[in-house]
């Protein structure tokens, strides 16, 4: 019990710590306020949640400008659309500073900013839409994405042909090394030449100088530890690994006495999974309701074992996992992998190892009702065979007969036997005693 209390306290303190954010020191209140928001690594829901928080913070503090420092190879289209919605609604002037690469969804995000500055080592473009396995997306998805890229360019009076060429490889811009079958990728000088960049710079300070904020108070937002964890655990690669660790840890804990490291690993993996998806915005109220319902039912199963509570509870938890995913198909595959590993491990433990330990001893029935231990399904009265008695009731064919001083329930071998007629036991099958009517004494043999 103490160990469980300690775990609860540790997790509670961890969640408080995970959400702590660094606080900037006080600065000259008369200086312009510029927020720096990093847009790094893969574009996914966790990044969108971080950018949403950063933009809200900048607006609440009456920032004069927001600079998005972009260095991303791209990512999910739906997350890019969500970020684009944030940028279109922001009430603060924005600038995208392409530090290294703004590819695919990164170029779309950059085009949504009011101004773009390119680092001398930066690139922007190569925005074709592909599926999870790397193949080209269907024509409907491609058309929608091309339209979004064009709209982003037109929003800030940029020539849409270059945005289209970034997402549509049928556009021929051979002068920019993007012939038919190739997506356009702009170098810093090319971006400046076609009006997709206001300037080419080497550092952030140069960007601030171009914008007229060289003396501004700069606040650089960073993802909290919880947001970093959310981005990590919502990765399509990490999800099946995390769920597999959870299932294997809990299965091993069933075999281990007490609550030890495997159980802690299993529970921690589940907590990380749901916590990360909750922070990233994937897990909504319905997922939390399903999760809590499943946990309550499993606890009921422990105290009132029937199998029903456990099955429904497990199904509720699986349902919570399924609705927590950004891609239900990928989430179903991840759950399937983890369940397969769990079943294989459970089979191995059940078949090869001693299950008379840990929680397995409460889940597996060990008691036997064998004859050697004194258990019999029915008392077998074979000593009655050959005994003679008298029918006390009509046998139609069942009734009651008297053998000595003992009344027994019997059944006649043939048809009807009148009461008070003599009978003889000819067969005993468990509790079934079969009698035959005696017509005369010569029938005894």
- What is the residue extent of each domain of the chain? 29-223, 230-363, 382-444
Count other Cβ atoms within 10 Å, centred on residue 426.
13
The helix/strand/coil state of 380 is coil
Under DSSP, the state recorded for 128 is -
**Distances from the Cα of 136 to the Cαs of 79, 132, 283, in angstroms?**
18, 9, 29
Fold of domain 382-444: OB fold (Dihydrolipoamide Acetyltransferase, E2P) (2.40.50)
Q: What angle do CA 327, 328, 332 make, to 5 degrees?
A: 120
Burial of 356 from C-beta contacts in 10 A (0-12 / 13-18 / 19+): exposed
Task: Give the closest residue to 59 by CA, choosing from 48, 69, 49, 51.
Answer: 51
CATH (residue range 29-223):
3.90.226.10
Number of H helices, E strands in the chain: 15, 13
- Distance between CA atoms of residues 211 and 198, nearest Å: 10
- Where on the phi/psi map is residue 118: left (φ > 0), alpha (ψ -120 to 50), or beta? beta
As averages over each run of 10 residues, the pLDDT of the chain (445 residues) reads 48 50 52 95 87 94 96 90 94 96 95 97 92 70 93 95 95 92 95 96 96 94 83 78 79 60 77 78 77 81 72 82 72 79 73 53 52 56 86 89 89 86 88 84 47
Give residue 65's pLDDT.
Answer: 98
CA–CA gap between residue 336 and residue 130 (Å, rounded): 24
Whole-number Å distance between alpha carbons of 146 and 18: 39
Question: pTM for this one?
Answer: 0.64
Q: Which of 299, 333, 327 is nearest to 44 (CA)?
A: 327
pLDDT of residue 30: 75
R_g over Cα of the chain: 38
- Torsion over CA of 25, 27, 31 and 32, rounded to 10 degrees? 10
Taking residue 204's Cβ as centre, other Cβ atoms within 10 Å add up to 18
Which tokens in the block code for residue 107? 């170029």
From the number of C-beta atoms within 10 Å of its C-beta (0-12, 13-18, 19+), residue 54 rates as buried
Beta bridge partners of 232: none
Per-residue pLDDT at 121: 95
């Amino acid at each position: 019990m103490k160990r469980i209390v300690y775990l609860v306290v540790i997790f509670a303190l961890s969640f408080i710590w995970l959400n702590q954010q660094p606080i900037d020191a006080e600065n000259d209140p008369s200086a312009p306020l510029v927020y720096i928001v990093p847009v790094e690594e893969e574009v996914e829901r966790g990044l969108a949640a971080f950018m949403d928080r950063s933009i809200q913070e900048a607006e609440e503090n009456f920032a004069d400008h927001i600079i998005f420092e972009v260095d991303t190879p791209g990512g999910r289209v739906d997350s890019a659309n969500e970020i684009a919605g944030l940028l279109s609604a922001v009430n603060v002037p924005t600038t995208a500073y392409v530090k290294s690469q703004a590819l695919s969804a990164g170029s779309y995000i950059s085009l949504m900013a009011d101004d773009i500055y390119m680092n001398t080592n930066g690139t922007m473009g190569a925005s074709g839409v592909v599926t999870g396995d790397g193949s080209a997306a269907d024509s409907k998805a491609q058309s929608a994405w091309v339209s979004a890229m064009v709209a982003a360019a037109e929003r800030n009076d940029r020539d849409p042909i270059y945005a289209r060429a970034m997402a549509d490889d049928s556009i021929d811009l051979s002068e920019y090394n993007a012939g038919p079958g190739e997506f356009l990728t702009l170098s810093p000088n090319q971006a400046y030449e076609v009006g997709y960049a206001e300037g080419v710079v080497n550092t952030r300070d140069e960007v601030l100088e171009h914008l007229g904020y060289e003396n501004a108070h700069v606040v650089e937002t960073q993802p909290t530890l919880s947001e970093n964890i959310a981005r990590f655990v919502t990765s399509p690669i990490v999800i099946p690994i995390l769920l597999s660790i959870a299932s294997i840890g809990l299965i091993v804990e069933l075999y281990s006495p007490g609550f030890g490291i495997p159980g802690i690993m299993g529970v921690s993996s589940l907590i990380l999974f749901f916590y990360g998806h909750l922070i990233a915005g994937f897990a909504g109220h319905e997922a939390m309701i399903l999760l809590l319902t499943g946990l309550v039912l499993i606890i009921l199963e422990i105290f009132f074992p029937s199998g029903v509570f456990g099955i429904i509870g497990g199904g509720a938890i699986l349902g919570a996992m399924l609705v927590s995913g950004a891609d239900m198909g990928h989430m179903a595959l991840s759950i399937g992998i983890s369940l397969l590993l769990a079943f294989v491990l459970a089979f191995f433990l059940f078949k090869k190892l001693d299950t008379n330990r840990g929680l397995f001893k409460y889940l597996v029935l060990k008691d036997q009702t064998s004859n050697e231990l004194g258990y019999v399904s029915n008392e077998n009265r074979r000593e009655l065979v050959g005994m003679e008695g008298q029918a006390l009731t009509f046998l139609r064919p069942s009734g009651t007969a008297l053998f000595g001083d003992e009344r027994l329930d019997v059944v006649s071998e043939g048809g009807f036997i009148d009461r008070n007629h003599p009978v003889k036991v000819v067969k005993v099958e468990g509790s079934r005693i079969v009698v035959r009517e005696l017509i005369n004494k010569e029938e005894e043999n």
